[in-house]
Amino acid sequence: MTGTTLAAGYSGPPAWQWSDLFTSWQLEPVVLALCVVLGALYALGLVRVRGKGGSWSPGRSAAWFGGLALWAWVTMSGVGVYERILFTDRAAQVVTLLMIVPLLLGMGAPVSLVAESVSERGRARLMRVLRSWPSKILMFPAISTALLMLPPWLLYFTPWYEHTLTDQSWNIGLHVVLVALGLAYFWPRLQVDPVAHEYPQMVGLFITMAEVIFDAGLGILIVYGHTTIAEHYYTALGRPWGPTIREDQVWGGCTLWALGDMAGLPFIAALVRRWMVKGRAETAEVDAAIDAQIARQREEAAAAKATVATPGSVATATATATDDDPEMMRPWWLDDPNLAHRYGAREQE
């Protein structure tokens, strides 16, 4: 489809069918160019990492290239062909571009790949950029969350939406801007890449719950609201097939609601997985510290026993050995900075 003209008589594609998702295609040169360039740069990074004797997770590579493929598909397949014909089609595209594509790209850890593939000087420069104040502002939870939650509301309740239907440059801009805004949200929330400041994973879970509420609110407002979005455009389009304009908007609102909530599930799963991995790493560190402390106390106890030279010193040596016995050591959780405060009050009592 080269375009849709608002004239007497419909000039768009034929009636939509499920097969159009894979059989109807259009060219979106900007997205295609971005996908090719970003894919080539990522592949170059992989080559450099392996050339330096390093390794890279296949899962991260799959996530990155899968995100690029989905970005191209949702703008150039049947979804893209009907994006300016059906409200529901555009709704599915918006959720995919804002939430699913950026999530996959973020899971690809591109910044970590850059850090692994460049020199020490280049890595230091990258870290300085990540720790700069603009980066800290962008990654602050309230800012990054607003970048994800506000765009759908602004899209549907400002002239922005109708501009994307009537102007190709606005339409292409939507394809790129939504992915960029979504990536600005998922990058600091996933924390698989270096970030300006690491926030607790629980913050990400609370933000996700708030995002679910916002998605539901937008969908409910579109479904049950009395205003038809871009009514003039869709009326002038004169589509002779499929649902009515109002029915299409109801289905689109349901799509924003349901698909938006479902798109958040992989993100929650990624957060929980990272939470578990980080917890196991912290547990391993604590266990290693405890093992080292036990080994040190055993060495001290053995040294104390070795200093006993006369029979009259047996009682003293026995007492020393008992005091230094690892089995009688102070419980580790009383000294752990993350847990000590929970038992401090009891200890004082």
**Residues 125-182 pLDDT 10s:** 888 888 888 877 877 877 888 888 899 999 999 999 999 999 999 999 999 999 999 9
User: Of the given ranges (213-222, 235-244, 316-325), which has the lowest mean pLDDT?
Assistant: 316-325
pLDDT for 201: 64
In the block, tokens 């579109």 appear at: 222
Cβ-contact 251, 88 below 8 angstroms? yes
CA distance 347 to 341: 10
Mean pLDDT, residues 82-101 taken together: 95
Q: What percent of the chain has pLDDT over 90?
A: 44
Compute CA distances 148 → 153, 156, 174, 175, whole Å: 10, 14, 14, 15
Task: Tell whether the model's pLDDT for residue 5 goes beyond 50.
Answer: no
Instruction: Please tell me the predicted confidence (pLDDT) of residue 311.
Output: 52
What average pLDDT score do residues 286-307 get? 77
Is the distance from CB of 96 to CB of 176 less than 8 angstroms?
Answer: no
pLDDT value of position 121: 86
pLDDT at 140: 80
Residue 3: which pLDDT band, with cuts at 50, 70 and 90?
very low
Residues 6+ apart with CB under 8 A from 254: 219, 223
Q: What is the pLDDT of residue 125?
A: 87
Closest CA to 16 of 253, 235, 245, 243: 243
Q: Output the pLDDT for position 6.
A: 45
Q: How far lies 123's CA from each of 41, 120, 250, in Å?
A: 17, 5, 50
Q: Which pLDDT value is given to residue 74?
A: 97
**Cα gap 19→145, rounded to integer Å:** 36
Give the C-alpha separation, 41 to 33, whole Å: 12
In angstroms, rounded to a whole number, what is the distance separating the alpha carbons of residues 237 and 235? 5
- pLDDT(7) > 50: no
User: pLDDT tens-digit profile of 39-55?
Assistant: 999 999 999 998 888 88
What's the Rg (C-alpha) of the chain? 29
* Residue 336 pLDDT: 62
Which residues, 6 or more positions from 223, have their beta carbon under 8 angstroms from its beta carbon? 249, 250, 253, 254, 257
The winner for highest mean pLDDT among 4-8, 178-182, 296-300 is 178-182
Q: Count CB neighbours of 37 within 10 A.
A: 11
Per residue in 238-285, pLDDT (tens digit) is 999 999 999 999 999 999 988 887 877 777 777 777 677 766 766 777
Give the residue ranges of DSSP H helices in the chain. Answer: 20-23, 29-51, 58-76, 78-81, 87-95, 101-107, 110-117, 120-130, 133-139, 141-156, 160-166, 168-190, 201-224, 231-237, 245-306, 314-323, 340-348
> How confident is the prediction for the chain on average, in pLDDT?
82
Nearest to 59 by CA among 108, 101, 105, 117: 108
- Confidence band for 2, pLDDT divided at 50, 70 and 90: very low
Task: Give this prediction's pTM.
Answer: 0.75
Q: Which residue has the higher pLDDT, 7 or 52?
A: 52
304: tokens are 């104390």
- What is the distance between the alpha carbons of residues 139 and 4, in angstroms, rounded to a whole number? 39
pLDDT over 70, % of the chain: 80
**Over 60: is that where the pLDDT of 236 sits?**
yes
Band the pLDDT of 20: cuts 50, 70, 90: very high
